[in-house]
Amino acid sequence: MKITIKETQEKLRKGEITVEDILSEFFARTKERNEEINAFLSVFDKTLNDIKSKDKNLPLYGAFFSVKDNILIKGERCSAGSRLLDHYIAPFDATVIRKIKEKGGVFIGKGNLDEFAMGSSTENSAFGPTRNPIDSERVPGGSSGGTAAAVADGMCNAGLGSDTGGSIRQPAAFCGVVGFKPTYGTVSRSGVMSMASSFDQVGPITNSVEDAETIFNAICGKDENDSVTSDLIRKKVKKDLKVGIPKEYFVEGMEEGVKEAIEKAIEKVEKAGIKVEEVSLPHTEYALPAYEIIMASEVSANLARYDGIRYGLEFDRPVAKTIKDAYLENRGEGFGKEAKRRIILGTYALSAGYYDAYYIKAQKIRSLIADDFKKVFQEVDALITPATPTLPFKIGEKVEDPLSMHLSDIFTVTANLAGLPAMCLPCGKKDKFYVGAQVLTDRFHEDTLFHLAKKLEEIWKQ
Ligand code: GLN
């Protein structure tokens, strides 16, 4: 049942439907579809009791979540899509989970993902790929592909993902739903498995911009368990917004169907009376290489904790003879190919002799990219770009070609490098597939972003 949180709330509050009805519809849909789509790694049976105990007036009453399986829900398995954590049970609630519980939301289950959130197709999951509900031969995007597919296919009406370089926005674009990555530091990462800590941010995947706003408002704010968090500094929304189109985002190699749809979408924006002008972000071409180096460096440090001592493979296996054997067995058998590739690359980039040439240089580029945005936001209030260079590709098509897989993130990584809020939403179609557009604003200007994105949603629906 494809329904927004808002519609669900209205129906529930008016008594048009009961929570039992809704839940049985979501569960029936999941039962019918999950075997093929593989959107959920686990489905909960306590959800009905949870929702019955909630106050109807809470802001997230009527929100039924798929939570990406790298976010901890106390007492439930949290696998990160990795064989290494197949048996891991979360000992506490992530801050975002605690907030959702307090504000009336409930959880349907945990969403499939690329191992430790590393990938753009959900094919790197140790528990099999998720399939795109629009065409099951194709990928749903990644790494939050399971959650995006569940929301798009009506198995739930809300999703929580994590975005390090595009993992909320790119699967939202491939599945035709809304995906929002907030300003870095506005949402707590406590209880979210770290991939690359200076980029990671939690955010919603939904069927409407308004639902994304509702969830964001419920989960944001300072958290003493995450020292980079701050309360959202609310900025005023200007009356007449000026939108920039960065010319560097219209690169060669963009699939024709995507290019056409996005150009048409921008024409519609102009016709609707919104001021649009071309702008330039000159360092854009260096964004993906800089992201790859910094991300892999942070991954290599963060994934060091999976050592077979604190976290590791199942406990009933024979005990390794030496500590080195324990490391080798757990990391050798536990991690998949992509995780190993990134650990090796990151360790290399951080090693003496290469640190300055790669890591420091990438950090310098990161500053240049942030400066580009700073300048451009003195001219315009928001930016519109394509979300992805291609339509959903076939399962297996890019698995053996990691470089071409990484190109999927070319338009999304810049927001993580600069810590900006960014949202992807459908702006048109090519055959049966949706094409996504991305809207960005300056840091902490989420209210402007929501205001504009709601307008765009209306304009692009027609
Ligand atoms: N697809 C990107 C990558 O593979 C982003 C991942 C993410 O945002 N978690 O690194």
User: One digit per residue, pLDDT tens: the chain, 462 residues?
Assistant: 899 999 999 999 999 999 999 999 999 999 999 999 999 999 998 888 889 888 999 999 999 999 999 999 999 999 999 999 999 999 999 999 999 999 999 999 999 999 999 999 999 999 999 999 999 999 999 999 999 999 999 999 999 999 999 999 999 999 999 999 999 999 999 999 999 999 999 999 999 999 999 999 999 999 999 999 999 888 889 989 999 999 999 977 799 999 999 999 999 999 999 999 999 999 999 999 999 999 999 999 999 999 988 898 876 678 888 999 999 999 999 999 999 999 999 999 999 999 999 999 999 999 999 999 999 999 999 999 999 999 999 999 999 888 888 889 999 999 999 999 999 999 999 999 999 999 999 999 999 999 999 999 999 997
Q: Which amino acid belongs to residue 182? A: P
Domains of the chain, start order: 5-237+385-461 (3.90.1300.10), 285-362 (no CATH)
Q: How far is the CA of 75 from the centre of ligand 1 (A)?
A: 27
What is the phi/psi pair of residue 107, to 5°?
Answer: -115, 130
What's the rounded Cα separation, in Å, for the pair 424 and 460?
13
Say if residues 178 and 423 touch (Cβ distance below 8 Å): yes
Which ligand 1 atom sits closest to the C-alpha of 338? Answer: 4
Instruction: Please tell me the pTM assigned to this model.
Output: 0.97
Helix/strand/coil percent split, the chain, to 5: 45, 15, 40
- The β-bridge relationship of strands 64-68 and 106-111 is parallel
Is 364 catalytic? The answer is: no
Q: Give the active site residue among 143, 190, 300, 408.
A: 143
440 strand-pairing partners: 383, 422
Instruction: Choose, from 79, 167, 194, 408, the residue flagged as catalytic.
Output: 167
Report d(CA 259, CA 15) in Å as an integer.
45
Mutate to test the pocket of ligand 1, among 68, 118, 295 (most ligand atoms within 8 A of CB): 118
| Residue 144 CA, ligand 1 centroid: distance in Å | 9
